[in-house]
Amino acid sequence: TFPSLPLMKLSAYHKSKADIVEFAETGTHYDIVYVSRTFNLGLRTVPKIKLDGIIADKFIYGGTGYEIKVKNGRETYEKCSTDLPEEIEHIYPDYSLYPELTKNTAYGFLTRGCPNNCPFCIVSKKEGFTSSKVANLSEFWHEQKNIKLLDANLLACKHKLDLIKQLEESEAYIDYTQGIDARFITEEIAKALCKTKIKMIHFAFDLMKNEKNIIRGLEIFKNVSGKSDRYLKCYILVNYNTTYEEDLYRIKKVIELGYRPDVRIYQKQNAPQYLKDLARWANNDIIYRSCEFAEYVPRSDGKRIKDLYNKY
Protein backbone atom coordinates (compact mmCIF):
# COMPACT_ATOMS: atom_id res chain seq x y z
CA THR A 1 0.00 0.00 0.00
CA PHE A 2 3.05 2.30 0.10
CA PRO A 3 5.74 2.66 -2.58
CA SER A 4 9.43 2.12 -1.85
CA LEU A 5 11.17 5.47 -2.31
CA PRO A 6 14.67 3.92 -2.44
CA LEU A 7 13.62 1.53 -5.21
CA MET A 8 12.03 4.40 -7.17
CA LYS A 9 15.29 6.34 -6.96
CA LEU A 10 17.38 3.30 -7.92
CA SER A 11 15.08 2.69 -10.87
CA ALA A 12 15.43 6.30 -12.04
CA TYR A 13 19.22 6.12 -11.75
CA HIS A 14 19.54 2.89 -13.74
CA LYS A 15 17.12 4.06 -16.41
CA SER A 16 19.25 7.19 -16.79
CA LYS A 17 22.10 4.80 -17.65
CA ALA A 18 19.90 3.08 -20.28
CA ASP A 19 19.57 -0.04 -18.10
CA ILE A 20 16.45 -2.18 -18.21
CA VAL A 21 14.58 -2.05 -14.88
CA GLU A 22 11.70 -4.24 -13.69
CA PHE A 23 10.44 -6.03 -10.61
CA ALA A 24 12.32 -9.33 -10.34
CA GLU A 25 10.61 -12.37 -11.81
CA THR A 26 11.46 -16.03 -11.37
CA GLY A 27 13.42 -17.62 -14.18
CA THR A 28 14.90 -14.33 -15.40
CA HIS A 29 18.63 -13.59 -15.05
CA TYR A 30 19.54 -10.13 -13.74
CA ASP A 31 22.82 -8.28 -13.32
CA ILE A 32 21.65 -6.80 -10.01
CA VAL A 33 18.64 -7.36 -7.76
CA TYR A 34 17.90 -4.78 -5.05
CA VAL A 35 15.90 -5.66 -1.94
CA SER A 36 14.76 -2.81 0.33
CA ARG A 37 13.23 -3.26 3.78
CA THR A 38 12.01 -0.50 6.11
CA PHE A 39 11.11 -2.28 9.38
CA ASN A 40 12.70 -5.10 11.35
CA LEU A 41 9.63 -5.73 13.55
CA GLY A 42 11.78 -5.79 16.70
CA LEU A 43 13.83 -8.78 15.59
CA ARG A 44 17.38 -9.14 16.86
CA THR A 45 18.55 -9.68 13.29
CA VAL A 46 16.55 -9.79 10.06
CA PRO A 47 17.41 -12.65 7.72
CA LYS A 48 17.95 -11.86 4.08
CA ILE A 49 14.80 -12.70 2.13
CA LYS A 50 15.17 -15.98 0.28
CA LEU A 51 14.41 -15.21 -3.34
CA ASP A 52 13.43 -18.60 -4.76
CA GLY A 53 13.93 -18.77 -8.51
CA ILE A 54 15.47 -15.29 -8.78
CA ILE A 55 18.82 -15.42 -10.59
CA ALA A 56 21.28 -12.54 -10.36
CA ASP A 57 24.99 -11.85 -10.46
CA LYS A 58 24.62 -9.61 -7.41
CA PHE A 59 22.04 -9.12 -4.67
CA ILE A 60 22.02 -5.86 -2.68
CA TYR A 61 19.99 -5.64 0.54
CA GLY A 62 19.39 -2.24 2.12
CA GLY A 63 17.14 -0.10 4.28
CA THR A 64 16.69 0.31 8.02
CA GLY A 65 14.93 -3.06 8.17
CA TYR A 66 18.34 -4.64 7.67
CA GLU A 67 20.54 -1.97 9.24
CA ILE A 68 18.69 -1.65 12.56
CA LYS A 69 20.03 -4.06 15.14
CA VAL A 70 18.39 -4.97 18.45
CA LYS A 71 20.72 -5.44 21.41
CA ASN A 72 19.59 -5.74 25.02
CA GLY A 73 16.12 -4.66 23.95
CA ARG A 74 17.41 -1.40 22.39
CA GLU A 75 17.47 -0.57 18.70
CA THR A 76 20.71 0.71 17.20
CA TYR A 77 21.56 1.74 13.67
CA GLU A 78 24.64 0.53 11.83
CA LYS A 79 25.42 2.62 8.78
CA CYS A 80 26.42 0.37 5.93
CA SER A 81 27.47 0.49 2.31
CA THR A 82 23.90 0.10 1.07
CA ASP A 83 22.93 3.68 1.92
CA LEU A 84 22.06 5.40 -1.35
CA PRO A 85 24.94 7.41 -2.86
CA GLU A 86 24.32 11.16 -3.13
CA GLU A 87 23.72 11.09 -6.88
CA ILE A 88 20.93 8.54 -6.35
CA GLU A 89 19.57 10.01 -3.11
CA HIS A 90 18.83 13.31 -4.86
CA ILE A 91 17.52 11.99 -8.16
CA TYR A 92 13.89 12.51 -9.17
CA PRO A 93 12.08 9.24 -8.31
CA ASP A 94 10.75 6.91 -10.98
CA TYR A 95 7.05 7.08 -10.12
CA SER A 96 6.20 4.76 -13.03
CA LEU A 97 7.46 1.88 -10.87
CA TYR A 98 4.21 2.07 -8.86
CA PRO A 99 1.69 3.60 -11.29
CA GLU A 100 -1.39 2.91 -9.15
CA LEU A 101 0.10 4.10 -5.85
CA THR A 102 1.78 7.22 -7.21
CA LYS A 103 -0.85 8.48 -9.63
CA ASN A 104 -0.92 12.28 -9.17
CA THR A 105 1.06 11.84 -5.93
CA ALA A 106 4.64 12.76 -5.04
CA TYR A 107 6.62 11.28 -2.13
CA GLY A 108 9.72 12.64 -0.48
CA PHE A 109 11.70 14.36 2.28
CA LEU A 110 12.46 18.05 2.66
CA THR A 111 14.35 17.47 5.91
CA ARG A 112 16.20 14.66 7.65
CA GLY A 113 16.99 14.15 11.30
CA CYS A 114 15.26 14.91 14.59
CA PRO A 115 16.44 16.41 17.90
CA ASN A 116 14.10 14.37 20.07
CA ASN A 117 16.02 11.06 20.11
CA CYS A 118 12.93 9.21 21.29
CA PRO A 119 14.07 5.80 22.58
CA PHE A 120 11.48 3.96 20.47
CA CYS A 121 12.48 5.73 17.22
CA ILE A 122 15.57 5.21 15.06
CA VAL A 123 15.49 8.53 13.16
CA SER A 124 17.83 10.54 15.43
CA LYS A 125 20.37 7.71 15.58
CA LYS A 126 20.21 7.15 11.82
CA GLU A 127 19.87 10.70 10.45
CA GLY A 128 21.30 12.87 13.23
CA PHE A 129 20.04 14.95 16.15
CA THR A 130 19.43 18.07 14.05
CA SER A 131 16.54 18.46 11.63
CA SER A 132 18.32 19.73 8.52
CA LYS A 133 17.06 20.75 5.10
CA VAL A 134 18.08 18.17 2.49
CA ALA A 135 16.04 19.15 -0.55
CA ASN A 136 13.74 21.67 -2.16
CA LEU A 137 10.29 20.48 -3.11
CA SER A 138 11.17 20.42 -6.83
CA GLU A 139 13.54 17.51 -6.20
CA PHE A 140 10.67 15.04 -5.95
CA TRP A 141 7.58 17.02 -7.03
CA HIS A 142 6.65 17.94 -10.60
CA GLU A 143 3.13 19.40 -10.49
CA GLN A 144 1.41 16.37 -8.92
CA LYS A 145 -1.89 17.19 -7.21
CA ASN A 146 -0.94 15.44 -3.97
CA ILE A 147 2.24 15.40 -1.89
CA LYS A 148 2.98 12.86 0.83
CA LEU A 149 5.64 14.44 3.01
CA LEU A 150 7.76 11.90 4.90
CA ASP A 151 9.80 14.23 7.15
CA ALA A 152 10.29 13.10 10.73
CA ASN A 153 10.37 16.60 12.28
CA LEU A 154 9.89 19.41 9.76
CA LEU A 155 9.17 22.03 12.43
CA ALA A 156 12.52 21.46 14.17
CA CYS A 157 14.34 22.67 11.04
CA LYS A 158 15.50 26.31 11.02
CA HIS A 159 14.37 26.57 7.38
CA LYS A 160 10.83 25.40 8.19
CA LEU A 161 9.01 28.58 7.11
CA ASP A 162 10.75 28.57 3.73
CA LEU A 163 9.93 24.90 3.19
CA ILE A 164 6.30 25.37 4.27
CA LYS A 165 6.12 28.30 1.81
CA GLN A 166 7.26 25.95 -0.98
CA LEU A 167 4.45 23.56 -0.03
CA GLU A 168 1.96 26.43 -0.05
CA GLU A 169 3.08 27.67 -3.47
CA SER A 170 2.75 24.17 -4.95
CA GLU A 171 -1.04 24.41 -4.46
CA ALA A 172 -0.98 20.64 -4.03
CA TYR A 173 -2.79 18.82 -1.25
CA ILE A 174 -0.28 18.00 1.49
CA ASP A 175 -0.36 14.88 3.65
CA TYR A 176 2.07 15.33 6.56
CA THR A 177 2.40 11.58 7.06
CA GLN A 178 4.65 11.67 10.15
CA GLY A 179 3.65 13.15 13.47
CA ILE A 180 4.13 16.93 13.43
CA ASP A 181 5.86 17.98 16.67
CA ALA A 182 3.17 19.96 18.49
CA ARG A 183 5.75 21.45 20.88
CA PHE A 184 7.05 23.65 18.04
CA ILE A 185 3.62 25.02 17.17
CA THR A 186 3.21 28.79 17.52
CA GLU A 187 0.53 30.98 16.01
CA GLU A 188 2.96 31.93 13.22
CA ILE A 189 3.77 28.30 12.41
CA ALA A 190 0.11 27.28 12.63
CA LYS A 191 -0.91 30.05 10.22
CA ALA A 192 1.85 29.04 7.80
CA LEU A 193 0.79 25.38 7.87
CA CYS A 194 -2.84 26.37 7.34
CA LYS A 195 -1.93 28.21 4.15
CA THR A 196 -1.01 24.84 2.66
CA LYS A 197 -3.79 22.60 1.38
CA ILE A 198 -3.99 20.07 4.18
CA LYS A 199 -4.94 16.61 3.03
CA MET A 200 -4.30 15.29 6.53
CA ILE A 201 -2.05 16.51 9.32
CA HIS A 202 -0.80 14.24 12.07
CA PHE A 203 0.49 15.27 15.46
CA ALA A 204 1.82 12.90 18.13
CA PHE A 205 1.19 12.49 21.85
CA ASP A 206 3.56 9.66 22.72
CA LEU A 207 5.27 10.55 26.00
CA MET A 208 3.57 11.82 29.15
CA LYS A 209 6.61 13.94 30.05
CA ASN A 210 5.74 16.20 27.08
CA GLU A 211 2.06 16.45 28.01
CA LYS A 212 1.89 20.18 28.83
CA ASN A 213 3.69 21.44 25.71
CA ILE A 214 1.90 19.00 23.39
CA ILE A 215 -1.54 20.04 24.65
CA ARG A 216 -0.59 23.71 24.27
CA GLY A 217 0.48 23.13 20.65
CA LEU A 218 -2.63 21.14 19.81
CA GLU A 219 -4.83 23.87 21.26
CA ILE A 220 -3.05 26.59 19.26
CA PHE A 221 -3.29 24.72 15.98
CA LYS A 222 -6.94 23.81 16.48
CA ASN A 223 -7.84 27.43 17.30
CA VAL A 224 -5.90 28.85 14.34
CA SER A 225 -6.99 26.26 11.79
CA GLY A 226 -10.62 25.87 12.79
CA LYS A 227 -10.52 22.52 10.98
CA SER A 228 -12.66 19.56 11.90
CA ASP A 229 -11.16 16.28 13.08
CA ARG A 230 -11.68 14.99 9.54
CA TYR A 231 -8.33 16.62 8.75
CA LEU A 232 -6.64 16.37 12.16
CA LYS A 233 -5.16 13.22 13.67
CA CYS A 234 -2.96 12.55 16.65
CA TYR A 235 -0.74 9.48 16.91
CA ILE A 236 -0.74 7.83 20.33
CA LEU A 237 1.95 5.26 21.12
CA VAL A 238 0.96 2.49 23.53
CA ASN A 239 2.69 -0.62 24.90
CA TYR A 240 5.87 1.35 25.50
CA ASN A 241 6.23 3.26 28.79
CA THR A 242 2.74 4.43 29.69
CA THR A 243 0.09 2.89 31.93
CA TYR A 244 -3.31 1.78 30.68
CA GLU A 245 -4.84 4.77 32.48
CA GLU A 246 -2.43 7.13 30.70
CA ASP A 247 -3.24 5.52 27.36
CA LEU A 248 -6.97 6.06 27.83
CA TYR A 249 -6.37 9.59 29.15
CA ARG A 250 -4.36 10.60 26.06
CA ILE A 251 -7.00 9.21 23.71
CA LYS A 252 -9.83 11.05 25.47
CA LYS A 253 -7.76 14.24 25.67
CA VAL A 254 -7.06 14.46 21.92
CA ILE A 255 -10.73 13.74 21.18
CA GLU A 256 -11.68 16.54 23.59
CA LEU A 257 -9.27 18.90 21.77
CA GLY A 258 -10.92 18.13 18.41
CA TYR A 259 -8.53 15.54 16.95
CA ARG A 260 -9.04 11.96 15.83
CA PRO A 261 -6.88 9.48 17.78
CA ASP A 262 -4.61 7.12 15.86
CA VAL A 263 -3.35 4.51 18.31
CA ARG A 264 -0.11 2.78 17.33
CA ILE A 265 0.95 -0.32 19.28
CA TYR A 266 4.68 -0.71 19.92
CA GLN A 267 5.74 -4.29 19.16
CA LYS A 268 2.14 -5.29 18.58
CA GLN A 269 2.96 -8.98 18.49
CA ASN A 270 3.78 -8.80 22.22
CA ALA A 271 0.95 -6.48 23.25
CA PRO A 272 -1.85 -7.57 25.62
CA GLN A 273 -5.32 -8.03 24.17
CA TYR A 274 -6.49 -5.01 26.18
CA LEU A 275 -4.39 -2.66 24.04
CA LYS A 276 -5.48 -4.30 20.80
CA ASP A 277 -9.10 -3.75 21.85
CA LEU A 278 -8.29 -0.18 22.85
CA ALA A 279 -6.78 0.52 19.42
CA ARG A 280 -9.79 -0.98 17.63
CA TRP A 281 -12.11 1.21 19.68
CA ALA A 282 -10.10 4.44 19.40
CA ASN A 283 -9.20 4.16 15.71
CA ASN A 284 -12.82 3.87 14.59
CA ASP A 285 -14.64 7.16 15.09
CA ILE A 286 -18.03 5.49 14.68
CA ILE A 287 -17.31 3.35 17.72
CA TYR A 288 -15.67 5.84 20.08
CA ARG A 289 -18.35 8.44 19.34
CA SER A 290 -21.09 5.98 20.19
CA CYS A 291 -19.84 4.20 23.31
CA GLU A 292 -17.26 4.38 26.07
CA PHE A 293 -14.34 1.96 25.95
CA ALA A 294 -15.68 0.28 29.09
CA GLU A 295 -18.77 -0.68 27.05
CA TYR A 296 -16.75 -1.97 24.11
CA VAL A 297 -16.16 -5.71 24.51
CA PRO A 298 -15.84 -7.06 20.97
CA ARG A 299 -15.07 -10.67 21.81
CA SER A 300 -17.50 -11.38 24.64
CA ASP A 301 -20.43 -9.38 23.27
CA GLY A 302 -20.08 -9.57 19.50
CA LYS A 303 -23.82 -9.27 18.84
CA ARG A 304 -24.06 -5.92 20.64
CA ILE A 305 -21.14 -4.51 18.63
CA LYS A 306 -22.64 -5.84 15.41
CA ASP A 307 -25.94 -4.14 16.28
CA LEU A 308 -24.01 -0.95 16.97
CA TYR A 309 -22.42 -1.05 13.50
CA ASN A 310 -25.83 -1.68 11.91
CA LYS A 311 -27.33 1.24 13.81
CA TYR A 312 -24.72 3.75 12.64
Note the pLDDT tens digit of each residue in 203-255.
Answer: 999 999 999 999 999 999 999 999 999 999 999 999 999 998 999 999 999 99
* Geometric angle at alpha carbon 295, from 294 and 301, rounded to 5°: 125
CA dist 128 and 178 (Å) reads 17
C-alpha–C-alpha distance, residues 288 and 311, integer Å: 14
In a 13 Å sphere around the CA of 197, the CA atoms on its Cβ side amount to 9
In this predicted structure, what is the pLDDT of residue 308? 47
Please classify residue 100 by burial: count the beta carbons closer than 10 Å to its beta carbon, then call 0-12 exposed, 13-18 middle and 19+ buried: exposed
For residue 238, the model assigns a pLDDT of: 95
Per-residue model confidence (pLDDT) at position 303: 57
Other beta carbons within 10 Å of 155: 23
Could you tell me if 130 and 72 are in contact, meaning their C-beta atoms sit under 8 angstroms apart?
Answer: no
3-state secondary structure of 79: coil
Going across the sheet that includes 105-108, the strands are: 105-108, 146-149, 173-180, 197-204, 232-238, 260-265
pLDDT for 237: 95
In DSSP terms, 149 is beta-bridged to 108, 176
Single-letter amino acid, residue 145: K
Q: Under a CB-based contact definition with an 8 Å cutoff, are residues 201 and 190 in contact?
A: no
Q: Residue 125 is inside which H or E element, if any? A: helix 123-127
Q: Taking the alpha carbons of 159, 161, 163, 165 in that order, is the dihedral positive or negative?
A: negative
Given a cut of 70, the residues of the chain with pLDDT beneath it are 40-50, 68-82, 297-312
| CA–CA dist 43, 75 (Å, integer) | 10
For CA atoms 66, 72, 74, 76, the dihedral sign is: negative
**Residue 108, SS3?**
strand
